[in-house]
Structure formats: C-alpha cells, structure tokens
Amino acid sequence: MVALFKFTGPDRTTYAGYQWPPTGEWAEVGKGKAKLTASALCTPKVLHVTDFEHLLNWAKDELYEVEVDEGRGMIVGPDKIGVRRARLTRRIETWNERTARLFAADCAERVLPLFEAKYPDDRPREAIAVARRFANGTATREELAAAWDAAWAAARAAARAAARAAAWAAARAAAWAAETAWQRERLAQYLSGSITEADHAV
C-alpha cells in the first residue's frame, strides 16, 4: 500500500466538521464490511485520506500520516480514498503555519512572471516578500494585511483589463503538469525539513 496522508483543520477536524481521534487511535464509520461505491466519496459516511500525489488538493492546517484497515473496504477516487477504518499514526510537524506560508509564497513567485510580463506592477511581488517576512517573524500582521490589500487591488485592476484570462492561458501554455510536479517536489522538501532558514532569507 502506498503511503497515505490526511490534512485536517486544528485539532484534527475535517472540512465536514468530523474530529479524528488522537494519533494512534482507530477511527471507524459504518458497521461490518460494507461495500464502498464511488458515490460514497461524496458523503461524510466514509473516512477520506489521500496519497502524496494528490496531497496539494487538500492542504489545511495539520498533516498526518495515516494507516488504513483495507479489510473493512476502500474505494479509490480521482484525488482521495474512502475507507471505513483508519488511524492517524503521526503528525508531520514540518507542516505548520510558517512552512505553509513559505510554500504558498514559493508557488506564487513561480507564476508571478506571467502576470508581470503583461502587467508590470510590483504590488504582488511585494506582497510575497512581506508574506515571507511575516512567516519568519520580521513583519507585522498590519504589514501583511496592507500588502495583501495592495496585491488584491493590483489583481482587480488587471482583471478589469482582462489579465485574468490571459494569465490562465499563459499558465496552460506553460505546462500545467510540469508545474504541479515542481510543487509536489517543493512540498516534499518542506516536509522532509531539507529547506533551511537561509533558503528564505529576505
């Protein structure tokens, strides 16, 4: 079985409001060895986990490694797996508010040239820089909020000039699959702890 993971909100809560038991304790839904169907993936009656390839689709506050009981049934969907019984085995501490912000900044910075090539505006780039500084404890929440507001103002101005459609067209032309592969590799570096403070010096 491939390695499986679960993103949750604070205290192991899910999008649907379910709270997983503490690490090491089994979570179980349904009775008996029930047959899972594709439609079950869209209900709260199964436990949802995913593999590393689709991890970015579910990013949230906390990240755990998961063990599942395959004997109780499971169904593999396009980007998640539904099971009847599973447990969180370890919280991945390298995923936290700081690394989430830095990872988001990395991804935004990667596509920023697409925007800047057509609509030169330094506000989005400055917002990324402030986000990095905030993650590293050298910017205030007020500075972050101001930079965020400025970046959104730049985005709205660009949208009025049809930049949004142009940006999406450029993104498709720039090989979406390759970019997603880069993001997965970058995420793996964060989770392994191989990215150091020096990598984000601003």
* Domain residue ranges of the chain, discontinuous segments joined by +: 4-91, 97-200
pLDDT band for position 42 (50/70/90)? low
Of 47-61, 101-115, 122-136, 157-171, which gets the smallest average pLDDT? 157-171
% of the chain residues with pLDDT over 90? 31
Helices (H) and strands (E) in the chain — how many of each? 5, 7
pTM for this prediction: 0.77
**Which residues contact residue 12 at a Cβ distance below 8 angstroms, ignoring those fewer than 6 apart?**
19, 20, 21, 22, 62, 64, 88
pLDDT band for position 201 (50/70/90)? very low
Of 28-37, 57-66, 82-91, which gets the smallest average pLDDT? 28-37
The sign one gets for the Cα dihedral 98, 95, 81, 9 is negative
Q: State the helix-helix crossing angle for 97-118 and 176-192, rounded to 10 degrees.
A: 150
Rounded to whole angstroms, the Cα distance separating 55 from 63 reads 10
Rounded to whole angstroms, the Cα distance separating 36 from 30 reads 10
Q: For the segment 191-200, what is each residue's pLDDT rounded down to a tens digit?
A: 998 886 555 5
What average pLDDT score do residues 43-60 get? 87
Q: For the segment 86-106, what is each residue's pLDDT rounded down to a tens digit?
A: 999 999 999 999 999 899 888
